[in-house]
A and B are shown apart, each in its own frame.
Chain A
Amino acid sequence: MVIDWIDFTPLESLLGGLLVGLAAALFMIFHGRIMGVSGIFGGMLHPLKGDFFWRAAFLLGLMVAPIVAHLAGSISAPKIDGSVFQLVTAGLLVGFGTALGSGCTSGHGVCGIARLSPRSLLATVLFVTSGMVTVWAARSFGFGG
């Protein structure tokens, strides 16, 4: 392991993290819900009555963020590399895995750890470890973007 000091952005990442935490905090205080994106998004795929528009409002807020940032003139869009095949494969795995495991980086990784849930702590250790092994394998065996 070598630390990549060139790309290291502790202040920006901490500030962004505080905003993510603020959003999770407000969601719980106002709405009493765990702010988990995979669950909020997944619930729209088979909507129940009266259970659609709050999800849509939240996801719309997410999508408007780059537009607000663009108007503020600060952040440029990061490049997405990887072929269509890689993105489809990864998307299927992310969708399947988060639905089966009932959560992703926000629901388990942030909210779950913050509420000291043993399930979420285990889930987070597993997906971070599995992501690390995947990145290592992708480089070692020459697949991935």
Chain B
Amino acid sequence: MCATCGCGGGEGARHEHHSHPHAQEHGHGPEGGRVIDLEADLLEANAAFARRNRELFRRNGVFAVNVISSPGSGKTTLLVRTLEALRDRIPMAVIEGDQQSDLDAERIRATGVPALQIQTGKSCHLDAHAVSHALEEMTLPGRGILWIENVGNLICPALFDLGEGKRVVILSVTEGEDKPRKYPEAFHGADLLLLSKRDLLPYVDFSVDQCSDFAHRLRPGLDLLLLSAKTGQGMEEWLRWVEEGWLRAKASYRPEEPVVA
């Protein structure tokens, strides 16, 4: 049985019941049965775990970053470069979400930063419950950065809050500027849009302006950076963004348990 929620492992948490306070009964419906209006939030079970994760991060001064993109956008490469640049100054750890294999976690471990691989199996996204279990199995990088590399997918991960401090969406310029239009929710929920593989810009028809325009329709004020993890171009701005988030999270470090009223 799992310590977080007593769920027996594997399946999501169903133990919190905040989701349906206003259930009302009215008469009979078209199918001849009794009608009840539940008005129950489907994402509440996930939200409850996300709140718990967020509180854990806050108390430990951890800057948790949820990284979302389609497969092959260069997530892991960027992460490896970022870890190499910051590892001497900032405690870090990585949670890797993939449907199968330990390949990404191995690439991360080669940098010397601890990595935990979550294999989601049939599922196409990480959820807050899976992350809360991962957190039990690892040492939290106190006053540092926890990178959560989501399953490569621009659709499903967008709906699931993991309790992260910031959400970064990576879009490589080879994927085309129309992606915010096609997969709006990923961009709507993002704090930063990273346009990767900048070195390939001369070879593809990708309009940074158009992409930025669309992304801003979905999320006014969304930060946007253009970089190449391969050549290092734009990495400096990215690292500055990361450090700012890290410093802010570090400032909320509260090691003691909260006083319960």
Q: Do A and B bind each other?
A: no
Interface residues of B (CB under 8 A from A): none
Interface residues of A (CB under 8 A from B): none
